[in-house]
Structures are given as C-alpha cells and as structure tokens.
A and B are shown apart, each in its own frame.
Chain A
Amino acid sequence: MERLIRILEDIQPEVDYSTCTDLVDGHYLDSLSIISLVAELEDEFDITIPTVEIITENFNSAESLWKMILRLQEDE
C-alpha cells in the first residue's frame, strides 16, 4: 500500500490519499494521470491492467486501487 501511495503522490501530489474517495469523480485524476498511473502500476507490481478494469470504482480511492492490484496479482 505504501508503494502505491508513493506512486500516487508522485503523479498527483495535491491529494490526501488516506481520506480521498473521489479521485476520479472529483477530477483529481484526469485521463492522462490514469494512463501514467496504469503504466507505473504495471511496472511496479508486475501486473497487467486490462481496459475493463479502468472504471471509476477502481480508481476513486487508494484503497480501491490496492484491492484491484491484489486481485490482479492473484489472477496472474
């Protein structure tokens, strides 16, 4: 989780990731940030994030992102 927060802070530093639950809905992460984030997460966690996973529910909070990473790691 700490690695994830570090990546998120690197991409968009102006957010408190421990509390924010509307990263996409609140326009903190735009589509370019999401492209960047996906590339970084795939490298860092050795996963493949398929397009079907790029939905608001998965990207709205650090916690939902972490759950997606764990799920995809299990699937690999």
Chain B
Amino acid sequence: MFAMNSYFSVQYLAVLLPVTVVLYAVMPQKARRVVLLLASYAFFWAVSGKLLVYLLASTLSIHLLGLWLSHLQEKGDRYVKTLPKEARKPAKAKSLRRQRAVMAFAVVLHVGILLTLKYSRFFITNVNALFQFFRSPFMLSVPAFLLPIGISFYTLQAVSYLFDVYRRKIPADHNLLRLALFMGFFPQIMEGPICRYSDTAAQLWEVPSLSWRNLTFGLQRILFGVMKKMVVADRLNILIQNVFTNYEAYDGFVTAIAVVCYTVQLYMDFSGTMDLVIGTAQIFGVKLPENFQRPFFSHTISEFWKRWHITLGTWFKDYIFYPLSMSKPLKKLTSHARKHLGNHFGPLISGSIALFCVWVCNGLWHGAGWHYLFFGMYHFVLILCGSLFEPLVIKVTGILHIRRDSAAYRGMQIVRTGLLVCVGELFFRAEGLRAGLIMFQKMFTDFSLAAFDDRSLFTIGMDKYDFLIVFLVMVLIFLISLQQEKGIVLRESIAARPLAIRFAVYYALILLIVIFGAYGAGYVPVDPIYAGF
C-alpha cells in the first residue's frame, strides 16, 4: 500500500507532489480543482486510510449546516421586512435563537467527535484513577480510537466556517467541491496553518496556470523547510529522546541542554514544515497564511504567542477570547470594574476569565495530558502577570532611570522571553507532569559542568560536530531572521540577482541538505511533531 507519514517522506516529495504538479500543469482549469482534491484525498488516505471517512463526513456536515443557517437567515430577513418597525426586534431575536440552536448543534457535533476520539481515553483513565482512589469496584473500559490525521486542525477550520456563516461574515457555500478543497487541501491538512474560508476558498477555486515564478518561489521555500527539518530538527532528535526518556540518569546541565535543543527542534520542525506547506501551496498559486513571524525576537510572552503558531492564536482570539469577553455578563463586569479599578485593571478581570478559557483550550488542544494542561496554565499565568505588573515595571524602571527602549533592555527582554519559553517547552515535551517537575528541579539542584568536562555530553546522541553544524545553521537562520525583522524580503532580493548568484544560493541550499542532512544510519528522523496534536 502507498503509505506515508510526513511531508518530508520520499513518497510525498518524490511521488505525490511531483505527480500532482504535472497533472495540474497539463489539465484544463476546471479539472485542476479535481486534481487538487483527488491529491488531497490520496494524501489523507496514504496517512490515515479509511479514517478519511471522518474528513468526508465533516465536510458534508458543514456544507449542509451552512446551507441550513443561510436558509434560516434568509427566511428570517424576509419575514422581518414584512413587519412594522416596532415588531421587528422580537422577530429578529426569534430568528437568531433558531440560528443559535443550529450553531450549538454544529459545535456539539464537530467538537464532540474531536473530544470523543482524542480525549475519551484521557478522561476515562482519570475517572478510573478516581474510582481506584475511592476503592470503588467499578472500572470503565478504556477505548482505543484511531485519530484521523489533522483532525485537530480541520475541526477548527470547520467550526470557523460555520461561525463565519452564522455571523454573516461569509455567505454559505453552495459548492460542495470548493468546501471540500477548503477543508482537505493536502499541504495544510496535516499540520495547518488553520485557514479561514475567506482566506483560502476563493484562491483554491481559482486554480491559475502554473507559473515559473510560483514554481521557483514555492520550491525555494520547500527547500528551506527541508533544510530546517533535516539538518537541524532530525539531528537533535536522538539526544532529546535519550534525555527526556531517561531523565533520571542526567544532571541539570544536560537537562538544560536538552530543553534548549528541544525548543530549537520544535521551532525548526514546525516552522520548517510550514515553509514546506506554504511553498507547496505557492506552486499552485495559493497564498496560505503565515504561522510564524520570528517568535524568538519577542519581548514578552504575549508577543511570543502573536508570532508563534499565529493561526491557532488568532482562532482562539476570534472564536473564544472575544466572544467570551464580549458576552453580556463579562461586558457588565468590565464596565463595573473600569469605574472602580480604572482603565488598566478594570478590563483585566473579564479579560483574564476569557484568557483562562483560551489557555485551557490551548493546552488541551495540543494533547490529552496533564502536562499539556500545565503548559497552558503556565502561559496563562505568565501573560496575566505581564499585564498585572506592567504599571509596576514602568514605575520601577522610571525610578531607576532605565530606558525601556534601549537596546540593552530590549535585549534582556528577548533573552528572558526565550528562557521562559524553554521552560514551558520542557513541560510540553516531558513524559508526563511528574517527569517535567523533576527535570525542572534538576536544573537548579543538580547542576554541574561534569558532562562537558569529561566529554560525556557528546556521547548522548550528538557529537561535537553535530553541535557545531546545528550552531552554524542556527547562526545562518538568525542572520536571515534579522534581515526579515528589518523588513527585507530576502527571496525577492535573491530573485533580482544575476542567474549565477541565484543558482549558487540554490545549490548551496541543496548541498547543505545533502551533506549535512541527518539521514541514513545513526539518525532517527523526528516524527512530525504538530501532526500528533
């Protein structure tokens, strides 16, 4: 059977993608849509087999529910227009109640499937632990559902589509094929970005002819992603696996190295995959939203989450944070609190209630485990503290005559944010919450440079050349990021150079992957990390 487990597999890069591009290039416009959809379902089938039925059911369901909502809206509007002005408000409210009932059904259906498949095992295991604690003879059997690939991503897309129809931001789509492409487009189905219907559906339907610019720009971006994944993320894998699995055997120094390596790995794996995904879409003339904006240049944790996994953050903001904080009870609370606590602390109460819900969802979205919940709560507390103490920090820095816009202060903020992120990732990667806490404690109570002095650090999974290669590539990525922070679009400036220079850059990138890529004997490629969420 034609199976694959990642966008970096030979089956994807050497078979599915080239075959799709060739078919796309030779087909007339209308048939190109079918090519993309068939490629998408072939990809899904190759990864998840018969579980494709979940994606098909979700697509059909949002199609029908969207049309139902649209029908209710049109019917309600028509009826309201026939009424005198004073009778319109209650009629509008009645129509809205019906639409809300459909929305509630839709959310329960889609989120319910996700919850059942992804969280029932976690939930029942914890219920059984409670039964055991109270010495109850009852035990629930733990289900073993198979998760279709990308369910956490496409469920959010499905819910956002229905919410946007409900809010009249977009009209319900009568075209099932277009909706199917929006839901299942193969480059983004596995790890996002989480797209909005208004961003990608029309683009996917356009299916322009293949252009040289789109093809070369797309391929460059794919190459850059492959480099990040194969040269850095895969090279770090064995060390990370060794230390996180046998955490009790290593001291605080090695633990700290592994934590930093994991943070780098996660960034390189996920942002590398996004480069590949966005590059693939670009070949077909589709501009997917960016998911990263150089997150390690952030000055605060709050800013970090505006630059890391951007489409997940904006999804939570648009469909959880604002709807909650703008709900009637919380709005009243804000108005009341502002009068008594002022403009800074007033909105903080309702804001933090909504923020708490966002971070519970964010933690659990990443996986069914207490350490994921802890990860969410950790970031909730950091962001809340950032807002709470901001006036105090402004006051103290003012008294001490510290310029908050000076390079030194900004640099300190960047380093501090990076360290806080690393600690969060420790709990994120740890084999459970207990393991995470032990590893965190070790970094303070069992810290020595012995592993560096006796060179045992270089025997855990990375020798000194591996460290050197990773370091040099990270310096390269830092320099590229620095240019991007200044607003320089490097690919455009490379494209404007003479042919010889352009090809020198491309060959350098290919050689970097071929020579320094961590593949073959002695390496274990990292599984696509975000695809597991």
Contact = CB atoms under 8 A, between A and B. Distances in A.
Contact of B317 (A31, A32, A39): A31
A31 B322 CA distance: 9
B94 interface: no
Interface in A29-61: 30-33, 35-36, 38-40, 42-43, 49-52, 54
A38 B321 contact: no
B343 A11 contact: yes
B169 to A, nearest CB: 6
A29 to B, nearest CB: 11
Interface stretch (B19-27, B331-339, B491-499): B331-339
Interface string B43-82: 0000000000000000000000000000000000000000
B331 A38 contact: yes
B326 A33 contact: no
B343 A39 contact: no
Contacts of B387: 32
A32 B338 contact: no
B333 to A, nearest CB: 9
A36 B347 contact: yes
Interface in B308-346: 317-318, 321-323, 325-326, 331, 334-335, 338, 343-344, 346
Given A27-B303, A35-B347, A36-B343, 15 more contacts: A10-B343, A31-B317, A31-B325, A31-B351, A32-B344, A32-B387, A33-B343, A33-B347, A35-B334, A35-B350, A36-B347, A38-B326, A49-B326, A51-B318, A51-B323
A39 B169 contact: no
Interface residues of A, number: 19
B326 A32 contact: no
B168 A32 contact: no
A36 B331 contact: no
Q: Is the interface of A mostly helix, strand, loop or mixed?
A: helix
B348 interface: yes
- Identify the 4 closest CB pairs spanning chains A and B, nearest first: A52-B167, A36-B347, A35-B347, A39-B334
6 contacts: A31-B325, A39-B331, A40-B335, A49-B326, A52-B168, A54-B322
Contacts of A38: 326, 331
A27 B307 CA distance: 13
A32 B352 CA distance: 9
Contacts of B346: 36
B347 to A, nearest CB: 4
Contacts of B168: 52
Interface string B350-378: 11000000000000000000000000000
A39 B322 contact: no
B326 A54 contact: yes
A52 B343 CA distance: 24
B16 to A, nearest CB: 36
Given A33-B347, A51-B167, A39 B323 contact: no
Contact of A51 (B302, B326, B338): B326
Chain B CB count within 10 A is highest, among A11, A33, A35, A51, for: A35
B338 A36 contact: yes
Contacts of B317: 31
Given A35-B350, A52-B167, A40 B331 contact: no
B418 to A, nearest CB: 19
Given A32-B387, A35-B350, A40 B338 contact: yes
B335 A43 contact: yes
Contacts of B302: 30
A32 B355 CA distance: 10
Contacts of B335: 39-40, 43
A31 B302 CA distance: 11
A36 to B, nearest CB: 4
Contacts of A39: 331, 334-335, 338, 347
A42 B331 contact: yes
Contacts of B318: 51
A42 to B, nearest CB: 7
Contacts of A49: 326
B40 to A, nearest CB: 29
Contacts of B350: 35
A51 B322 contact: yes
Chain B CB count within 10 A is highest, among A30, A31, A40, A49, for: A31
Contacts of A30: 302
A10 B168 CA distance: 33
B348 A32 contact: yes
Nearest to B387: A32
